[in-house]
């Protein structure tokens, strides 16, 4: 596939405008972008996937309902407050946001998607957010993709965006994306938001399929701390403004479109892991030779989520003993005496026993910022791969308290 | 039940002798007890439970086979090396230990149980262990329960033992125990060893039942880091030396005996959590009102294993938002709007929303060394309780590297 990187983030595809403003959601005394808007000048096909956590934030419930009912054409997103566990008030806040911003854009309420990320359990400070809607809409422009990527950051240390131009059939289309992640990243998504825009002209059926399979191969394969958030959302808007012919379901072009979406999602997903809270290593855990797909996945996830394995990576210790112990408790079918473990391509364990590779070589690999752990079970043909990180003392330190949030809510009269 | 605490640990019951010596298993230059023996002067009924990890250490495989085949009457245990992932050599080392020590005791090889705890994947330094077997057997005495409790410690900061006298029917019998835990503690046990002795005269059927149900209510309910080891073992030896009549299956006395065993196991299990690696809090997570027992368990374990929840406890933050988010991803049936969360008996969340309890009160509770988190799902009648801890930056720091083990194994010519 002929992919070229281009500039512009979510504004790179034709017909998309964006803006972000500072509403002081987390802290009114700090000036930072925390309220964002993405808007398509043309009607869109839209598709999304949402958290499977049974505790869903209000904006997730609202956006899911709106996307079923209508054709979403704009997204309002905020950081600093997740609007989760906020009951009827939270739902009302999310709906009101859709109604007011939608009206200013000339859209129906249900053509809006609403997304939030931040602390759980505190009401939204709507008295600071609502007065900003005018500025948010008035400032829409075709060169503000970056601002949106910045406004959705929470504990992210850097913004994440990508935009590409890709040839589908005989026509070039553009795909842009931004995402936020940091803690709580786990298969089945995370406090993770990802917005993707494209000017491809794609049928609803093809778009839906492309989003589902791409999420499965990207966001559902990353894990930082084994937690899963109430707010995870991936939304893709396709406005057809490229002028290319419609991409129909099951066509060759639909396959190419899916590849493009998957490319973008994988870039975003892996960049989330790299920027995980206080993460120092990016580790690919690749399981081969499992009896079933589910077994391969169980093994990969058990290893990638083990606190002891992740601690050893933080210590640059190529500790295959802890890896095989996680393989053992994964509940997958395994035979200890068949298990091979390679670290960065070097055998650490063969047939369940320590391999001959000199420890110094393995330690050099574990000292790198990025390496692969490959586990071959030699029981079948199923594979699975996840992308993960180490677990650092600083992660825990960082996550010890969210008290600052509560103090602000108290000041706001909301707690 | 009339329980009196008495002295002596595993030697408190009549007819049990013990000893421990220093074999330099982890480090020959450091003098510390690391090889222990428990021996009954009389034949025993024995029962045990072992790790469900599919990667099982050699001594687990050997002890399981021996306990099926014969009446175990003595236990050899070592710290400093888990003898796990050590292949045929590991099995041979465990069997040889049973054969040599058994012969010195006048027992058949299969009347021995062998237990190891320590690093995974390195061969046992038998050249240092084997020469100590003579001293180990010769030094057997009725007052060395404490030495055994000390010899099985790894990253434990303190030894764990208990002994009680308990009236069963009209007769007093004694129960003694020692245990080791620290990291890798998780439901379905851990790098956890627990040895229990009793001079009760108990039928195999009653003993088996008592051990199974007591492990389920104690060791299977503790979790520190969500990992599960290759070596977990609980062994109970009952030698009948009290002279009391036989306790038969399904008798009233069998129920009393089970209560006594459960009391001892629960004391040992909770002391393991209290001494978890770099733990500062002991937290009881109690789930009420679940639709099913399995749902109650899923919720309790999801909360108790969440890295984010545990980090917040470390920070003394009564963060109910993170607790409910773990409730939501537990895969149990829940209805967000019905969930109540109490911290130390004070409402933190009612009906899925923040409760009115002043934050200062909740923070005072979370600052304690020990508190309860109660979660009521209001969906049914099933309950479940687990005992867990916070997760500290120091835990990760502590678990970053086991390189010292490897360096010693290299010196020993074993790696």
Residue A400 inside a domain? The answer is: no
Same domain, A310 and A231: no
B267, B286: one domain? no
Q: Do A226 and B326 touch (CB under 8 A)?
A: no
Distance from CA of A116 to the nearest CA of B (A): 15
For B217-243, letters b (16+ CB in 10 Å) and e give ebbbbbbbbbbbbbbbbbbbbbbbbbe
Cβ–Cβ contacts within 10 Å for residue B379, how many?
18
Tell me the H-state helices in A283-346: 293-305, 307-314, 320-329
Distance CA B334, CA A126 (A): 29
Helix ranges (H only) for A240-287 are: 252-274
Q: How big is the A-B interface in CB pairs under 8 Å?
A: 218
- Cα A348 to Cα A359: distance, rounded to the nearest angstrom: 9
How many Å separate Cα B97 from the centre of its chain? 23
CA nearest A116: which of A157, A71, A84? A84
> How far away is chain B from the Cα of A286, in angstroms, using its nearest Cα?
19
My answer on whether A212 and A292 are in the same domain is no
Rounded-to-integer distance, Cα B411 and Cα A26, Å = 56
First to last CA, chain B: 53
In a domain, A403, yes or no: no
> In this predicted structure, what is the pLDDT of residue B276?
74
The answer to whether residue B206 is domain-embedded is: yes
**A129 and A84 part of one domain:** yes
Give the nearest chain A residue to B184 (CA atoms). A308
Choose the closest CB to A406 out of B85, B359, B406: B359
Q: What pLDDT score was predicted for residue B187?
A: 38
CB contact under 8 A, A312 and B399: yes
Residue A394 distance to chain B (closest CA, Å):
7
pLDDT of residue B399: 67
Which member of B311, B334, B339 has the closest CB to residue A399?
Answer: B311
Q: What does DSSP assign to residue B333?
A: -
Domain at A61, CATH number: 3.60.70.12
| Residue B220 token pair | 């299977």
The helix/strand/coil state of B86 is coil
Q: What single-letter DSSP state applies at residue A10? A: G
Backbone angles phi, psi at B279, to 5 degrees: -90, 140
CB B386 within 8 A of CB B221: yes
Q: State which residues of chain A have pLDDT below 50.
A: 184-190
pLDDT tens per residue across span B231-272: 889 999 999 999 999 999 999 999 999 999 999 999 999 998
Query: Is B401 domain-assigned?
Result: no
All residues at 6 or more sequence positions from B126 whose CB lies less than 8 Å from its CB, including other chains: B93, B96
Residues flagged as binding site of A for substrate: 154, 180, 191, 277, 399
| CATH number (domain holding residue A341) | 3.10.20.340
Chain A nearest-CA distance from B259, in A, is: 30
| Whether residues A120 and A233 fall in one domain | yes
Partner-chain residue, chosen from B121, B319, B392, that has the shortest CB–CB distance to A354: B121
Same domain, B250 and B156: yes
B180 is in an annotated binding site: yes
Q: Is B61 exposed, middle or buried (0-12, 13-18, 19+ CB in 10 A)?
A: middle
Distance, CA of B53 to CA of B43 (rounded, Å): 30
Q: Which residues of A209-219 are buried (b: 16+ CB within 10 A; e: fewer)?
A: bbbeebbeebb
User: Which residues, listed in sequence order, are joined to residue A243 by a DSSP beta bridge?
Assistant: none
Picking from A183, A275, A281, the residue whose alpha carbon sits closest to that of residue A232 is: A183
Partners of A303 on chain B (C-beta within 8 Å) are none
Whole-angstrom Cα distance, residue A79 to residue A83? 10
Residues of A in contact with B224 (CB under 8 A): none
- Cβ atoms within 10 Å, residue A355: 17
Question: Which residues of chain B make contact with A394, given a CB cutoff of 8 A?
Answer: 393
Name the packing angle between helices A307-314 and A293-305 (round to 10°). Answer: 60
Q: Judge contact between B367 and B386, C-beta under 8 A.
A: no
Query: Is residue B403 assigned to a domain?
Result: no
Low-confidence ranges of chain B (pLDDT < 70): 182-191, 224-229, 277, 398-406, 409, 415
What string of DSSP letters covers B67-81? HHHS---EEEEEEEE
Model pLDDT for residues B310-338, shown as the tens digit of each residue: 888 998 999 898 899 899 989 899 999 99
- Do the strands A112-117 and B233-238 form a parallel or antiparallel pair, or are they unpaired? unpaired
In a domain, A408, yes or no: no
CA distance B403 to chain A (A): 7
Q: For A329, which of B228, B334, B395 is closest by C-beta distance? A: B228
The pair phi, psi for residue B30, each rounded to 5°, is: -110, 130
Question: How many whole angstroms separate alpha carbon A227 and alpha carbon A218?
Answer: 17
State how far the alpha carbon of A172 is from the alpha carbons of A7, A46, B262, in Å: 15, 20, 70
Q: Which of A242, A274, A306 is the last residue of a domain?
A: A274
Supply the pLDDT for residue B223. 72
The three-state secondary structure class of B367 is coil
Beta strand segments in B206-264, E: 222-223, 233-238
Return the C-alpha torsion angle A142, A144, A145, A147, nearest 10: -170
Residue that has been written with the tokens 């600083």 in this structure: A394
What residues of B are annotated to the active site? 191
Q: Please, what's the b/e burial string for A13-47 (b: 16 or more CB within 10 A of its CB; e: otherwise)? A: bbbbbbbbbbbbbbeeeeebbbbbbbbbeeebbbb
Same domain, A307 and A265: no
Domain count of chain B? Answer: 2
Which chain B residues contact residue A56 at CB under 8 A?
A: 328, 336
Question: Which of A54, A226, A311 is closest, CB to CB, to B399?
Answer: A311
Complex ipTM: 0.74
Domain final position from B274, B300, B326: B274
Place of tokens 């039942």: B209
| Cβ separation B121–A321 shorter than 8 A | yes
Strands (E) across A109-152 are located at 112-117
Half-sphere exposure for B241 (CA within 13 Å, toward CB): 21
Q: Which residues contact B183 (CB under 8 A, 6 or more apart)?
A: A308, B155, B190, B191, B224, B225, B227, B276, B277, B395, B398, B399
Distance CA B379, CA A54 (A): 14
Residue A183: its pLDDT value, please?
57
Chain B residue with the nearest C-alpha to that of A53: B329
Res B189: pLDDT: 37
Question: Same domain for A216 and A361?
Answer: no
Best of A298, A315, A321 to disrupt the B interface (most B CBs within 10 Å) is: A321
Instruction: Compute φ and ψ for A301, nearest 5 degrees.
Output: -70, -35
Judged by DSSP in three states, A6 sits in coil
Q: Which of B324, B393, B400 sits opposite A397 (nearest CB)?
A: B393
| Residue keyed to tokens 């290759």 | B230
Same domain, residue pair B206 and B103: yes
Whether residues A216 and A259 fall in one domain: yes
* A205: containing domain: 3-274
What is the C-alpha separation between B255 and B237, in angstroms, rounded? 18
Distance to chain A for B146, nearest Cα, Å: 30
* Residue in the block written with tokens 């050249």: B127
Rounded (5°) CA angle A300-A306-A311:
125
Among A191, A198, A230, A270, the one annotated catalytic: A191
Phi, psi at B17, each rounded to 5°: -115, 160
Sign of CA pseudo-dihedral B304, B306, B312, B315: positive
Q: Which residue of A has its CA nearest to B229?
A: A325
B297 and B374 fall within a common domain: yes
Q: In A, which residues are within 8 Å of B227 by CB distance?
A: 306-308, 325-326, 329
- Is B89 in the same domain as B227? yes
CA distance A71 to A43: 7
End residue of a domain, out of B244, B274, B304: B274
Contact A325 B403 (CB under 8 A): no
B90: nearest CA partner in chain A = A353
Task: Give the C-alpha separation, A41 to A73, whole Å.
Answer: 8
| Owner of token pair 């391999």 | A355
In-domain check, residue B399: no
pLDDT for residue B224: 59
Whether residue A305 and residue B397 make contact (CB cut-off 8 A), yes or no, is: no
Domain membership flag for residue A405: no
């Amino acid at each position: 596939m002929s992919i070229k990187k281009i500039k512009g983030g979510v504004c790179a595809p034709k017909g998309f405008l964006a803006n972000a403003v500072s509403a002081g959601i987390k802290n009114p005394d700090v000036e930072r972008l925390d309220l964002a808007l993405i808007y398509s000048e043309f009607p869109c096909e839209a598709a999304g996937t949402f958290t499977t956590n049974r505790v869903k934030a209000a904006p997730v419930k609202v956006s899911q309902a709106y996307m079923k009912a209508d054709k979403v054409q704009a997204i309002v997103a905020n950081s600093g407050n997740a609007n989760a566990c906020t009951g009827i008030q939270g739902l009302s806040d999310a709906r009101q946001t859709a109604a007011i911003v939608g009206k200013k854009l000339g859209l129906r309420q249900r053509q809006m998607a609403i997304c939030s990320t931040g602390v759980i359990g505190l009401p939204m400070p709507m008295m600071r957010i609502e007065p900003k809607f005018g500025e948010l809409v008035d400032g829409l422009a075709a060169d503000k993709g970056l601002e949106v990527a910045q406004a959705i950051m929470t504990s992210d240390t850097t913004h994440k965006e990508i935009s590409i131009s890709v040839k589908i059939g005989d026509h070039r289309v553009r795909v842009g994306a931004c995402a936020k992640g940091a803690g709580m990243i786990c298969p089945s998504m995370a406090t993770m938001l990802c917005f993707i825009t494209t000017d491809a002209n794609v049928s609803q059926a093809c778009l839906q399929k492309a989003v589902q399979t791409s999420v499965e191969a990207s966001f559902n394969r990353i894990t930082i701390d084994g937690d899963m958030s109430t707010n995870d959302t991936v939304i893709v808007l396709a406005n057809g403004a490229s002028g290319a012919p419609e991409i129909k379901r099951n066509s060759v072009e639909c396959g190419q479109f899916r590849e493009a979406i998957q490319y973008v999602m994988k870039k975003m997903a892996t960049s989330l892991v790299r920027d995980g809270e206080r993460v120092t290593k990016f580790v690919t855990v690749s399981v081969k030779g499992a009896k079933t797909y589910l077994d391969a996945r169980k093994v990969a996830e058990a290893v990638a989520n083990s606190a002891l394995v992740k601690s050893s990576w933080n210590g640059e210790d190529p500790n295959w003993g802890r890896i095989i112990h996680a393989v053992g408790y994964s509940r997958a079918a395994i035979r200890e005496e068949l298990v091979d473990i390679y670290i960065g391509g070097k055998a650490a364990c063969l047939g369940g026993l320590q391999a001959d590779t000199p420890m110094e070589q393995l330690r050099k690999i574990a000292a790198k910022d990025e390496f692969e752990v490959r586990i071959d079970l030699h029981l079948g043909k199923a594979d699975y791969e996840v992308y993960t990180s180490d677990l650092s003392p600083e992660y825990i330190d960082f996550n010890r308290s969210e008290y600052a949030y509560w103090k602000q809510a108290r000041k706001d009269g909301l707690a």
